[in-house]
Structure 1
Amino acid sequence: MPQSDTLSQKSTKHKRTASGKLSTTGETELNVLRSHLNSDFDEGVLPVSIKFKLNSLFAQIEREFELLYVQNLNLQDKVETLLEKLDRESIINEKYVEINDIESVSNINKNLSKQKVLVSNPSAAKLKTTNKLKVQTSKIVSSFKTSLVNCFKVRSFAGHRDGVWDIAVRPGQPVLGSASADRTVRLWSTQTGKCLLQYSGHSGSVNSVRFLPNKDLVLSASGDKSVHIWQAVINWECLNNDNDSDLDESKELDESSITLRTPVKELLGHSNVVIAADWLSDGEQVITASWDRVANLFDVETGTILQSLTGHDEELTFCASHPTQRLAVTCSKDTTFRLWDFRESIHSVCVFQGHTDTVTSAIFPAAGSGDQDRLVSGADDRTVKVWELRNMRSPLATIRTDSPVNRLSISPCTGLVAIPHDNRQVRLFDLSGQRLGRLPRNNRQGHHRIVTATTWSDDTGLYTCGFDRIILSWSVVQNKKQDGGE
């Protein structure tokens, strides 16, 4: 989960697993320190020398854990490479077997013709042989069916100094926003990859970012327990020029962008990390989600809390609003997510209990998609579920994956669901639960750390972000023939 400080804190997240032991030297020093503390310091005040040793030990632990984590990543890369090679070999073997089958059928046909076997209906025999060949050929074609989508990387956005927790696209403009553990929000040109504006008003990790449609306002939630509303003043000259500049030089990005430090409005009231925030459909109110187990509904103009939404048993992890109706959803570590209805003066709530682990996100399809009566949720139980708003008892579809799910997104035009995983994969499904493919990771095209979030710009534009401090843009195009051309 995004949290109140840097990515190094995230390294202790329960999702990560690594094997190995700390050095015996470190254990010995810890025992010595413990004995000193028990015998000499009853008041709980540590001298400078002990503090220094503790800091050194903690730094050593962090370095060794990071080394183990990198080793795990490299090992996983090797496993994935071997699995891909195994898949290719199995396909080749299948093709070889089926070609032999075709040759045997052809040889039988030749032998029959040489021996001049009498057949009551020669044309029927020829038709049967042809059908056999067609069946065998179709097997070969089916064994080589490709992904139902074509994906390739378009651009990378570099400049953040720590992990990127969230991303959002500004409606109607070529602008991308990113929220990072480095305590900043950056606005990027999707056309050039250049940083247009940097917001540095938060004193903690920035955990989410959202644009207000049709207005130059941005909403950001932070580990400093606050939510900021600020003006997105875009440097359009920077956007239109220097298309061919070197995008990998972060100094150049910083020099060409504007830095903003003061919000238009600061929303206060939470007692712990604010993990997410979103605009309600009318833009006059904001919903926030916090680790204090409360979601607040704020009035944008006054900055006051209109309602405090309670009921979750553990920390909240996400919140999102419906694109056209006064509905919102909140997710929690208590394995549930809740649908809040503000269309009446007294709000109502529905509880969805379909997951067995932390629910990391739940979102509505975009306006005009035709699926606005649906809701899609993802969780650490490695599943994604598609729900109907009128039926919260059982999901319409369940997608099972091999890794915990982070902040997913739905294409506003095609309804494709982009699912980011802890194992650095991004998989693509439709709302019926059919798997369409995944983003490529060969030749180091993809992320090399946990993928935290995805977002769509249009039917073909997909953006992903992760702990590797970068954002990647992708082109995702559905193949026209999804049935093998049959």
Structure 2
Amino acid sequence: MVDKTVKIWDINTGKFIQTLETHSYKFSLIIISNDGKNLAIGSGEKTITICDIDTGKYLQILEGHLSEINTIAFSPINKTLATASVDRTVKLWDVGNSKCLKTLHGRTDFVHSVVFSRNSQILVSGSQHGIRLWDMSSGECLTTLHEYKDWLYSLALSPDGNWLACANIGNENNIIRLWRVNSLNVRNDNTAPDKILQGHTDSIWSLAFSPDGKTIVSGSSDRTVKVWDCHTGKCLKTLLGHTRPVLSVAFSPDGQLIASCGGHSIIKLWDVGTGSSRQTIQEHACYIIAFSPNGYILASGNTSGIVKLWDVRNSECSATLGKYGQPIISITFSPDGETLACGSFDGTVNLWDINTSKCIRTLQGNIGSAWSLAFSPDGQILTIGSNAETILLWNINTGEYIKSFKGDRPYEGMNIKGVTGLTPAMIANLKVLGALES
């Protein structure tokens, strides 16, 4: 019998927790938020319902799609909900106020990851649907490696410059793709990966190479951390202990430790050799972590907008670098370890002096959410990957904006004002592809 209810169970104890009364007989999918507090229900009646798991109460009903909902994903910080529909649009929602932040018609790219090549001549960016290689001198997009059905979220380049890795989030697969960099033909858009690493059972949020470039570590929504051999593609170790999705992983500079964090208020330090948990640091819901170049400091950014510096030797907090008010979504040390760059959800990027714990510079200006940060090898340039579909380069000494990279769109600059016969959907699609109406 169809009764319009959703029942929630504890999978560890088998205990029944809650029954949620719904308004629809047709459920297309049900997703739990990364912090385990909310439930998103997609229906065949074009709506998404957000429920509180503890109380069973409805929090929001999101309306705007024109057809059945077929994909739902919470952002790692649970602030934004992405939904895809049979109407061929993807909508981004503010979970707090039910507002639709953006509707994506056809293709559009949010840059989630940026890394420099070893010689600084090429910048690699990862976005929703593929990997782009950019010429640093000209700003030209050299090539786009593949396009995927699910969102490319994490990207890593090995320190020796030999391996490029990417991982996706979504419902299609939970694999890591590895390319040998010297085998990439920058004019060939269809270069197949050299290795495919399989073993995770849910979305992969973070990747990090070991200092020697021989192994790679991954963090996933399946609550595991996995260590892989790049040359064989085999999983060497699976690290268990997280009870929420693992959102960020990092290797220590000496390759002896792995740090991992997730939405359950802890950071774990693992012994690479044994796979055992060496330390557990109690922290607020942590989104992103990074080791300092000397390996003594671990920086963490959390969903409350707080950045903390931890002494790896004793797990004590050595400094708190202000409070942004917006979730910290990217963090990286300069090559000399003297400066920490932190990017927030509202697009602010702050540069901190590690020795004095003072903010030495704030970068602002049409950044969008600063999803990824990378210093050039000489530490003079900071690259920001944003959800404004753009990669921005800044001089960190002067705070001056240098230039930006943006992929070519087929109708860039074409004015469609006054053109007859176009439906609203056609106009929206043309604008996404670069057209103007002015």
> What range is the shorter-chain TM-score in?
0.5 to 0.7
| Pairing 1:167–2:167 present | no
| Structure 1 unaligned spans of 5+ | 1-11, 16-28, 32-50, 72-159, 237-255, 480-486
The answer for the alignment partner of 2:336 in structure 1 is 413
**C-alpha distance in structure 1 between counterparts of 2:89 and 2:162, whole Å:** 45
Selected match of 1:372 from 283, 295, 303:
295
Q: What's the % identity of the aligned pairs?
A: 21
Name the SS of the counterpart of 2:322 in structure 1.
strand
Q: Which has the higher helix share?
A: 1
Selected match of 2:282 from 338, 349, 353:
353
Structure 1 counterpart of 2:164, one-letter code: V
Aligned partners of 1:197 and 1:258 also within 8 Å: yes
**C-alpha distance in structure 1 between counterparts of 2:391 and 2:183, whole Å:** 19
Name the SS of the counterpart of 2:318 in structure 1.
coil
How is 1:34-73 mapped onto 2 (pairs within 5 angstroms)?
Answer: 54=68, 68=99
The answer for the alignment partner of 1:401 in structure 2 is 324
**C-alpha distance in structure 2 between counterparts of 1:215 and 1:63, whole Å:** 36
Q: Per-residue deviation at 1:425?
A: 1.2
How is 1:75-474 mapped onto 2 (pairs within 5 angstroms)?
Answer: 161-182=108-129, 184-200=130-146, 202-223=148-169, 224-233=173-182, 257-342=187-272, 344-345=273-274, 347-354=276-283, 356-357=284-285, 359-366=286-293, 371-413=294-336, 415-432=338-355, 433-441=357-365, 446-447=366-367, 449-457=368-376, 458-474=378-394
Greater RCO (CA < 8 Å, at least 6 residues apart): 1
Aligned partners of 1:201 and 1:262 also within 8 Å: no
Structure 2 counterpart of 1:472, one-letter code: L
**C-alpha distance in structure 2 between counterparts of 1:308 and 1:172, whole Å:** 33
Q: Per-residue deviation at 1:346?
A: 5.6
**C-alpha distance in structure 1 between counterparts of 2:328 and 2:345, whole Å:** 7
Aligned partners of 1:278 and 1:319 also within 8 Å: yes
**1:302–1:211 distance in 2 versus 1, CA, 3 Å:** same
Structure 2 counterpart of 1:283, one-letter code: G
**1:257–1:62 distance in 2 versus 1, CA, 3 Å:** closer
TM-score normalised by L of structure 1: 0.59
Aligned partners of 1:277 and 1:287 also within 8 Å: yes
**C-alpha distance in structure 2 between counterparts of 1:63 and 1:229, whole Å:** 30
Q: Per-residue deviation at 1:404?
A: 0.9
Residue by residue, what CA displacement relative to the aligned partner does 1:403-440 show, whole Å, maximum 9, x if unpaired? 11002111113621111111111111122421112113
Q: Per-residue deviation at 1:53?
A: 5.6
Q: Per-residue deviation at 1:197?
A: 3.0
Aligned partners of 2:126 and 2:153 also within 8 Å: yes
Aligned partners of 1:414 and 1:459 also within 8 Å: no
Q: Per-residue deviation at 1:396?
A: 3.5
Aligned partners of 2:116 and 2:124 also within 8 Å: yes
**1:475–1:266 distance in 2 versus 1, CA, 3 Å:** same
**1:62–1:298 distance in 2 versus 1, CA, 3 Å:** closer
**1:302–1:477 distance in 2 versus 1, CA, 3 Å:** same
Aligned partners of 1:197 and 1:235 also within 8 Å: no
Structure 2 counterpart of 1:232, one-letter code: V
**1:188–1:30 distance in 2 versus 1, CA, 3 Å:** closer
TM-score normalised by L of structure 2: 0.65
| Structure 2 unaligned spans of 5+ | 1-31, 36-44, 48-64, 71-83, 400-438
Name the SS of the counterpart of 1:413 in structure 2.
coil
Aligned partners of 1:195 and 1:257 also within 8 Å: no
Q: Which has the higher strand share?
A: 2
Q: RMSD in angstroms over aligned alpha carbons? A: 3.4
Q: Per-residue deviation at 1:168?
A: 1.2
**1:202–1:304 distance in 2 versus 1, CA, 3 Å:** farther
